[in-house]
Amino acid sequence: MAQDITSPDKYDRFIQKIDHFQSLVEEKKNLQAKIAQMRDEFNATIRPLENELAGIIRSLETNLSRLESGAPVKASTPRISRGQLGTAVKDLLRAHPAKAFKPKEIGDALGTTGGAFSVWFNKYGVHDNDIERIPTGKEGKRFLYKIR
C-alpha cells in the first residue's frame, strides 16, 4: 500500500473541514458582535426621541380629555334633604312674588328636577294655602306656581 505522501488523506480532509467550520463560527461571532454594537448605537440614538414623543403624547391626551369634557363642570348644589323641599319652594316663591314658575324653573333654581317638585306638590303641596296652582292649557294638566 504505497500512498503518496503529498496527497491529503481522510484525516487531512477532516481537519480541513473542521478548520473551515471553525472559521465560519468565528465569522458568525464577529457579525453578531457588530449587530449588537449597531443595535446599542441605534437604541442610544432613538431613546431620547422616543421619550420626547411619549411626553408629547401624554400632553395631547391630557389636553384632549379637557377638550372632550367641554366647559368646566359646575359644582353641583347640595341635594335638598327630605322634608326641606317644601320650605325651599316657598322661599323661592316668596323671593319672586310677582312671577309664576313652571315646575322645571323651580327645579332648576333649587338644583333638583321639575319632576321631583311636581311629585312633592301632588303629595304635600296640594293642601298648602301659601302656594297658588295656576292651570295652563286646555286640558288643565300643566300648571304654573305662584305664592299667594
CATH code at 85-147:
1.10.10.10
d(CA 124, CA 103): 15
Instruction: Spell out, as residue ranges, where the chain has pLDDT lower than 70.
Output: 1-4, 70-79, 82
First to last CA, the chain: 139
* pLDDT value, residue 70: 63
The total of other beta-carbon atoms located within 10 Å of residue 121's CB is 20
pTM of the model: 0.46
Alpha helix segments (H runs only) across the chain: 10-69, 85-95, 103-110, 114-120
Burial group, residue 85, by CB count within 10 angstroms (0-12, 13-18, 19+): buried
Residue 124 grid coordinates: 304635600
Please give the share of the chain, as a percent, with pLDDT higher than 70: 89
Instruction: For 100-119, write each residue's pLDDT tens digit.
Output: 998 889 888 888 888 888 88
Instruction: For 64-80, write each residue's pLDDT tens digit.
Output: 877 777 655 555 556 67
Q: What three-state secondary structure class fits 101?
A: strand
Domain borders along the chain are: 9-73, 85-147
* Maximal CA-CA distance, the chain: 139
